[in-house]
């Protein structure tokens, strides 16, 4: 995805990168808001006494640990469908259309390939809030963070600079995976501590 919307590619398609990237960022924010809002609304259908009960916290912590186990085995073991964004959009639509469309899909998180259990965890935790504002905040954060790597391409003006960005992103792959695993384990620990303390 990162290589699809670069200043070089946009120039070749007679599109303006800043417009496509802005649409992508806003689309990802909108997708995250939709996911977080829907999850929170679903969570709000449970009474507060159930949603915040000790057993619910233990179950959610357990699910996070299951997700962590999947992530430790590698992204191929995680249940997910294998759908990607439609690359044909790059030649079929204007830059702002496919930028926004790609952003919405990736920001929503659940309609394309899921490579880390943290995506499921975000949905689960947004649902656990049971409050629309909190779910929107969780979703917005997810959507924006999901889109931020696209900003690394802002100064790409030739193939060498594009290659350097890809090398930098590749160097962050393992640290990002470790951070995701620590986040899953940490969230599970916090929920278990809350369950014990309640």
pLDDT band at 142 (very low <50, low <70, confident <90, very high): very high
96 within some domain: yes
Q: Where are the beta strands (DSSP E) in the chain?
A: none
56 within some domain: yes
Q: Are 130 and 48 in contact (CB under 8 A)?
A: yes
| Residue 9 token pair | 């590619």
- Provide the domain count of the chain: 1
Quote the pLDDT of residue 1: 64
23 within some domain: yes
29 within some domain: yes
Q: What is the pLDDT of residues 57-116, one digit of tens each?
A: 999 999 999 999 999 998 778 888 888 888 889 889 999 999 999 999 999 999 998 989
Integer Cα distance of 146 and 123 in angstroms = 14
Q: Are 145 and 35 in contact (CB under 8 A)?
A: no
Least Cα distance to 95 among 7, 190, 30 occurs for 7
pTM recorded for the entire structure: 0.90
Mean pLDDT across the stretch 21-49?
Answer: 96
Q: What is the pLDDT of residues 184-197, one digit of tens each?
A: 999 999 999 999 98
Domain coverage including residue 124: 7-197
Integer Cα distance of 1 and 9 in angstroms = 12
1 within some domain: no
2 within some domain: no
């Amino acid at each position: 995805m990162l290589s699809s919307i670069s200043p070089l590619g946009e120039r070749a398609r007679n599109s303006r990168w800043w417009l496509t990237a802005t649409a992508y960022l806003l689309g990802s924010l909108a997708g995250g808001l939709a996911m977080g809002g829907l999850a929170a609304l679903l969570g709000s259908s449970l009474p507060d006494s159930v949603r915040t009960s000790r057993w619910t916290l233990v179950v959610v912590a357990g699910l996070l640990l299951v997700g962590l186990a999947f992530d430790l085995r590698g992204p191929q073991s995680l249940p997910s469908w294998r759908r990607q964004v439609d690359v044909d959009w790059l030649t079929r639509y204007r830059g702002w259309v496919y930028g926004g469309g790609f952003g919405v899909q990736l920001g929503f998180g659940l309609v394309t390939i899921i490579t880390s259990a943290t995506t499921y965890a975000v949905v689960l935790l947004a649902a656990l809030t049971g409050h629309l504002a909190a779910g929107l905040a969780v979703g917005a954060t997810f959507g924006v963070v999901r889109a931020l790597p696209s900003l690394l391409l802002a100064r790409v003006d030739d193939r060498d600079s594009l290659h350097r960005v890809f090398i930098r992103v590749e160097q962050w792959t393992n640290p990002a995976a470790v951070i995701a695993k620590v986040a899953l384990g940490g969230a599970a620990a916090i929920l278990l501590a809350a369950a014990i303390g309640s």
